[in-house]
Each structure stands twice: as structure tokens, then as C-alpha cells.
Amino acid sequence: MMFKMFTILDQWFRYFINTLRWGYRWAMAFVHALVLVALLTVTTMLPFPITVMQHYHHFSQVQKYWFPTYLRAEFSPRGGSVYRVLVVEDANKEPWIANAENVLPGATRTAEGETVPFVLAPKEQQEGKRLVLLPAAFQDNAYVWNSLRNEVYNGKSIAEIGKFCFSPFGNLGIRVTVKRGNGVCHEQQ
């Protein structure tokens, strides 16, 4: 499919260039240079998402739940977006983002009849807190991103999560990612 498309584009490009009486060799060299730059860009950027997905495998359930929201909040070009936020509310209706200390894997039905893949931790239940899925509302992306980074991802941004674990040029050592009990990845040399 790609070859056919390139052949069609190549024929159209030859006609266009010959019509304008440009040099075909110069124009094709320019097209080949653009393709080369695109391929180099893709090959140099590809390790980042691969590394992030390797770390995703070691995330806790709460971190996996929040990851799409975290990505959207960090990379959204707009100032804000509409989010449904899972929070823990105390008796004074003071909400904060649910994290691994507040919730455990399980199933909780919300007032709207939806199922949330977590239950409130026993300690939180004893203190009279409750798990609430807030209705969709406009939130500032920077606020959501900072809250998730600090509460769920232990202060790590996605760029820090996507750091390479192998550094053959720096000190000729290998960095190994080790999963700790709390689901956070640490690097050891």
C-alpha cells in the first residue's frame, strides 16, 4: 500500500516538477532528505514510549487507573479539560485524589450506578471517609497534573518515568529497574 502510494505521489511529483521546469533531481533529493529526517526523528523518539510502557507494566493498580488522565493533563495543548476525578472525601466534604494509601483493588458502585475498580481502605472507612467519583467538570490541566504527580506518582513526571534504563556511554554500566513493594520503580546500578 505504501509503495503504491509513493509511486502515485512520485508520478504526480514528476509531472508537477516538469511542468514548472524545475530540476527533478534537486526536488527528489529534497523529498528524500525530508523522508530521511522523518525516519531519523521516529527512530530517535521511539525508545521513550517503549520505556514508559515498560514502567507501566510495574505500576500499581491506582497508577494504571490514573495514567491516561496523567498523560492527557501533561500533553494537552489547552489550559484545561473536562475530567471525572476519583476522590476520597472526609466528613467535612474535603476531597483529595485517591492514591495507593487510600484505596485497594476491588469494586465500588457510585451513586450514579457506575462501578469504580477500587474500595476504600479499612483505615479510611473507620475514619468515616468515602470514595466519590466526581461528575465531569472543567479542571485546569496544570492542577490535575501536579496533583497526580505528587499524590500518585511520587513526584515523577512522565519524562522522568520514561528515562532510559540502559546507559552504555556514560560509565559503561547498566542501570536496572527494580520494583519495590509500593509499586514504584527505582534504578540501581
pLDDT confidence of residue 17:
64
Residue 110, pLDDT > 60, answer: yes
Rounded CA gap, 185 and 148, in Å? 16
- Residue whose grid cell is 466534604: 93
Question: What pTM was estimated for this model as a whole?
Answer: 0.60
What are the pLDDT digits (tens) for 42-77? 887 777 677 777 777 778 888 888 888 888 888 887
What are the pLDDT digits (tens) for 146-176? 899 988 888 888 777 776 544 444 443 444 4
- The distance in angstroms from the start CA to the end CA of the chain is 46
Cα–Cα separations (whole angstroms), residue 159 to 48, 74, 104, 162, 176: 8, 10, 27, 5, 18
What are the pLDDT digits (tens) for 116-139? 899 999 999 899 898 888 888 998
Rounded CA gap, 92 and 106, in Å? 25
pLDDT confidence of residue 22:
55
Q: Return the bridge partners of 12, or none.
A: none
pLDDT confidence of residue 185:
45
CA dihedral 161, 162, 163, 168 (to 10 degrees): 140
Domain parsing of the chain, residue ranges: 2-45, 86-135
Cα–Cα separations (whole angstroms), residue 15 to 5, 19, 27: 16, 6, 12
| DSSP per residue, 124-172 | HHHTT-EEEEPPPEEEEHHHHHHHHHHHTSTT--HHHHT--SEETTTSS
Identity of the amino acid at 82: V
What are the pLDDT digits (tens) for 72-96? 888 887 788 899 888 899 888 888 8
Q: Return the bridge partners of 132, or none.
A: 87
pLDDT confidence of residue 122:
92
Rounded CA gap, 124 and 146, in Å? 23
> Who wins on pLDDT, 180 or 50?
50
Residue 180, pLDDT > 90, answer: no
Characterise 135 by phi-psi region: left (phi > 0), alpha (psi -120 to 50), beta (else). Answer: beta
> Who wins on pLDDT, 146 or 186?
146
Q: 43: helix, coil or strand?
A: helix
